[in-house]
Structure 1
Amino acid sequence: MKYTTKQQLNYTLVLGLLASLGPLCTDLYLPALPELANELQTTTASAQLSLTAGLIGLGFGQLIFGTLSDKLGRMRPLLVSLVVLMAASIWCALAPNIGQLIAARVLQGMAGAGGAVLSRAIARDLYSGHELTRFFGLLMLVNGLAPIFAPVLGGVMLTLMDWRGIFFVLAIISTLLLVLSRLRLNETLPPERRNQGGIISMIKSIGSLFGQRQFMGFCLAQGFVGAGMFAYIGASPFVLQDIYQLSPQMFSLCFAVNGIGLVIAAQTSTRLSLRYGELQVLKFGLGIAGCASLLLLLASALHAPLVVLLVALFFSVIVMGIVAPMPHRWRCRIREIMRVALPH
C-alpha cells in the first residue's frame, strides 16, 4: 500500500513519540528520586525500587501487548495502553506512600511498553525492505536520544514543579498521544493476517531459543553489562546529588553526557563489527567493562575526586552501547523461529 508524504510524516511523528514512551517513563523522573524519597519518608532502596518496578512492568508489558496486537490488531491494544498509562501516571502523581507508588509504577511500565512494542509492529505492517530498515533506524535514534534528554528535561522541570508534577506531565503526554493516535493512525493489521496462536505458542517459540548456545552467550553478556547499567541508573541520582552535592540540573547534564557516549559507542560498534567480526567486538567491549568496573571500584574505595568517578562511570556506561546491539544473524534466527511458531 502506498502512502502520501503527509501520511508518512504523520506515522513517523506519532510512532516516534510512541517509541519514546518507555525511556520517558524510566528516565524523566530520575533527577527527582532523592526529593521523592524525602517527601515520602522512605529509604533510598525503596525509592530505587520504584524504578525497578517500572522496568519489571516494561518487560512483562512487551509480552502482553505484543501478543494482543497480533491477535486483536494494532489499534485497540495501543489505545488501551495509552489510557492505562494516563491513569497510572496520575496514580503515581497522587501516591500517598512508597507502596502505592511502586504498584503504580508497575502498571505504568506495563502500559508504556505498549507504545514501544506497537510502534515497531505498525512499522513492520507499513514498510518492508529498505524503507523498513530506514524507519527502524529512526526509531533506534529516538530510543537513543530519549534517555539522554529525558533526565535533562526532568531536571529543568524540577525548577518549576515537584516530583509529582513530572508524573502529571507524563499523564498529559499520554493523553496527547492518545488523541494523536486516534486521529492520525489507522488499523494496519487486517483480520486475515492476525495470529490465533496465543501466548502459549509464543512461550514455546521463546523457549526454543534457550537451546542456542551462542545466542545465550550473547544474552548473558548483555545481561551482565545491562545489570551494571541499571545499577548506575538507580544509584547515580543519590550518589551524585546526596554525596557529591550536585544539583538535579548538573546531575541531568552528567547523565546526558554518558547517554551521548553510549549512542556514539553503539554506532562505532556496528562499524567495527563489520570489519573485525561481532565476537571480537564483544570481547573488546567486555574488556573495557572489566577495566571500567575496576576503576569504579578503586575510585569508590579510595574516595577519589568527583572527576575520577565521572570518568569511570562514563566508560562503564558506554560499554552498553558496544555490547548491547544484537548480532544480525541471531536477529534473523529469532524472526525465523517466531514465524514458524506463530504463522499469520
Structure 2
Amino acid sequence: MQPGLLRTALVLGLLSMVGPFAIDMYLPAMPAIAAGLGTTEGGVQATLTAYFLAFGVAQMVYGPWADQSGRKLPILTGIVVFFIGSVGAALAGSVEALVLWRAVQGLGGAAVMVVPRAVIRDLYTGPAATRMMAMIMLVISVSPMLAPLAGSLVLSLAGWRMVFWVLAGAAVLSVILTVTLQPETLPVARRRPVRLNFLLRGSRQLLSDPLFMGLTLVGGFGMASFFVFLASASFVYTGQYGLSPTGFSLAFAINAVGFFSASQAAGPLAVRLGMTRLILLGVGGFACFTMGLLVVTAMGGTALWVLILGLFLGNACLGTVIPTTMVLALEPHGEVAGLASSLGGTLQMLVGGVMIAVSAPFFDGTALPMVAVIAFCGAAALVLSLLTLRNLGAAPAQG
C-alpha cells in the first residue's frame, strides 16, 4: 500500500477508534458502575442502549452535512460534542444522568463513524474500498483488545469515573489529529446543499432499494449480535464464571480477535470469491456457529472455553461480512454517499439498540440468554442475506 494510502487508513482508523473506545473501555467497569450508582444490570445496560440509539440517529445529520460542507467540519464538531459528553459522564451523580451523558457521547461519536466511511467512498470503490475498510478495521481492532484492559487498569487505579476522563483526553487528541493530518476529500464542485426535498428523495430512493436495505440489515443484525455481547458479557464473565475485570478483558479480547483478524481477509476474498458469495459464506458460517453454540449452551455445555470458542468462530465469519456489506450497499450510490452511509449506519445502530432493549428483561447474568439472542441475530442475518442476494451473481467485483 502506498504511503499516502497507509496514512489515510491509519488516520481514519484512529479517528474511528473513538466510538469503539467509548464502548469497550468502560465494559469492565459496568458492574462497578451498577454498585456505585445503586442501580441494576438493566440500568447500566440502558447507558449502552442510549449511546447506540443516539449514535444511530445522529448519523442522519452528519452524513448530509458532510455532503454539503465537506468531511472535516462534521468530524471536528462531532469530536467536540463527544468531549462534552465524556466530561458529563465523568461527573454523573445518578444512572439517569449517566444515561443522558452517554447519549451525548453517542451524538458526537457518530461523526467519526459515518464520515470516514464517506471519505473511503470519495477515494475508492469495489474490492479496493473493501481493502481500505479492512485496513481501518485493523487499526480499530486495537480497541476491543486493549480498551477493556486499559479500562480495567484505570478502574483498579482510579475508579470508573476516570474512564470517562481518559475518553475526554482521547477526544482532544482526535481534534489535533484531524486538524493536522486529515485532508479534505470532497471537492467543492461535488458538494450538495442540504435540501429537505433532496434528503427525502434520496432517503426514499435508498429505503426502496432492496439491495441497500437487505445488505444494511444483514450487517445490522451482525452488529447487533456484537452489541448484545457488549451489553451482557461483563456480567456473564464476572458473575457466572467469576472472572476479575482484567480476566474479563482478556476473554473479551479473544472473542474480538476472531472478528478483526478475519476482516483483514475480506478484501482479498472479495476479489477471489466475489462480494456476493463472500457475504453468503460468511453469514452462513456465523449463523451455524452461533446456533450450534446455543444448542450446546441449552444442553448445559456452558464451560467458559466452549463459550469463548463458539463466539470466536462466529465472529471470525462475521468479520468477512461487515466490511463487505458496507461497501456493496454503498456501491451504486456514489452520488449520495454521505446520505447512504448515514442512513445505513442509523438503521444498523437502531437494530442493535432495539435488540439490547428488547432482550434486556431476559438477561439474568448467565450465558444462555446472551447466546440465544446472538443466535437469533445470526439466523435473521442468514435469512435476509438469502432473500437479498439470491438473484445476484457471485463473480468477483472489479474496483
Q: Which bracket does the TM-score occupy, shorter chain normalised?
A: 0.7 to 0.9
CA gap of 1:196–1:214, structure 2 versus 1, over 3 A, is closer
Matched to 2:235, the amino acid is F
- 1:14-51 CA distances to partner (integer Å, 9 max, x unpaired)? 54432211111121111111111111111111211211
Give the equivalent residue in structure 2 for 1:239: 236
CA gap of 1:46–1:30, structure 2 versus 1, over 3 A, is same
CA contact (8 A) 1:262 1:320 kept: yes
1:33 and 2:30 correspond: yes
Whole-angstrom CA distance in 2 between matches of 1:68 and 1:212? 22
Secondary structure of 1:326's counterpart equals: helix
Given the alignment, which residue of 29, 50, 53 partners 1:53? Answer: 50
- 1:106-141 CA distances to partner (integer Å, 9 max, x unpaired)? 110110122233445556668999998876554332
Whole-angstrom CA distance in 2 between matches of 1:318 and 1:127? 25
Whole-angstrom CA distance in 2 between matches of 1:133 and 1:298? 34
Whole-angstrom CA distance in 1 between matches of 2:138 and 2:268? 16
Whole-angstrom CA distance in 2 between matches of 1:267 and 1:189? 27
Identity between Structure 1 and Structure 2 (%): 35
Whole-angstrom CA distance in 2 between matches of 1:46 and 1:244? 22
| RMSD after superposition | 3.4
**CA shift for structure 1 position 156:** 2.5
Given the alignment, which residue of 261, 279, 282 partners 2:279? Answer: 282
Whole-angstrom CA distance in 2 between matches of 1:340 and 1:50? 27
**CA shift for structure 1 position 271:** 3.8
Give the equivalent residue in structure 1 for 2:308: 310
Secondary structure of 2:141's counterpart equals: helix
**CA shift for structure 1 position 166:** 0.4
Given the alignment, which residue of 264, 267, 287 partners 2:264? Answer: 267
1:296 and 2:293 correspond: yes
Q: How many residues align?
A: 337
Given the alignment, which residue of 150, 155, 163 partners 2:152? Answer: 155
What is the TM-score when the length of structure 1 is the normalising length?
A: 0.83
**CA shift for structure 1 position 186:** 6.2
1:196 and 2:193 correspond: yes
Given the alignment, which residue of 159, 163, 168 partners 1:166? Answer: 163
Whole-angstrom CA distance in 1 between matches of 2:273 and 2:119? 34
**CA shift for structure 1 position 270:** 4.3
Whole-angstrom CA distance in 2 between matches of 1:336 and 1:129? 15
**CA shift for structure 1 position 103:** 1.2
Give the equivalent residue in structure 1 for 2:318: 320
CA gap of 1:79–1:228, structure 2 versus 1, over 3 A, is closer
Select the structure with the greater relative contact order (CA < 8 A; seq sep ≥ 6). Answer: 2
CA contact (8 A) 1:82 1:174 kept: yes
CA contact (8 A) 2:54 2:103 kept: yes
Whole-angstrom CA distance in 2 between matches of 1:128 and 1:222? 18
Higher mean C-alpha deviation, range 127-136 or range 242-251: 127-136
